[in-house]
A = this chain, B = another copy of it.
Amino acid sequence: MLIAKVVGTTVSTIKDEKIIGQKLLIVRQTDENGEPFGKPYVAVDTVNAGVGDLVLTASGSSARQTTITKDRPVDAVIMAMIDSLEVDGKVTFRKG
């Protein structure tokens, strides 16, 4: 899984019928401090995440193992909200 920050939202009217009703959020991978880097990607939300939240995303076929995403053409899913991260004994992130 990647640590990622939710940074935005997408709107799509024309889409595969299997993703109708799926909430597609724009996220960016972060480091262990929750600092985003690199280019955005899009993941299906399954935990009611919002912009600003730090989350975990799973990719590939693993993204289809939730009840919400099963058998759907999606390759990334937000499957957990992060409360806190600890690295080498120090808290590097705590949800505000």
Q: Which A residues are within 8 Å of any B CB, using their own CB? A: 1-3, 7-16, 18-19, 24, 26, 29, 31-32, 37, 39-43, 46-48, 51, 56, 58-66, 69, 71-77, 79-89, 92
- A58 & B73 in contact (Cβ 8 Å cutoff): yes
16 contacts between A and B (CB under 8 A): A1-B75, A8-B32, A9-B85, A10-B85, A10-B86, A14-B80, A15-B56, A16-B47, A16-B66, A19-B79, A19-B80, A37-B39, A40-B87, A65-B74, A73-B77, A74-B79
Q: Is the interface of A mostly helix, strand, loop or mixed?
A: mixed
Each complex incorporates copies of this chain amounting to 5
Give the 10 A-B residue pairs with the shortest CB-CB distance, closest first.
A8-B87, A15-B80, A62-B75, A65-B73, A1-B42, A12-B80, A14-B81, A16-B79, A58-B75, A11-B83
B11 touches A84 (CB 8 A): yes
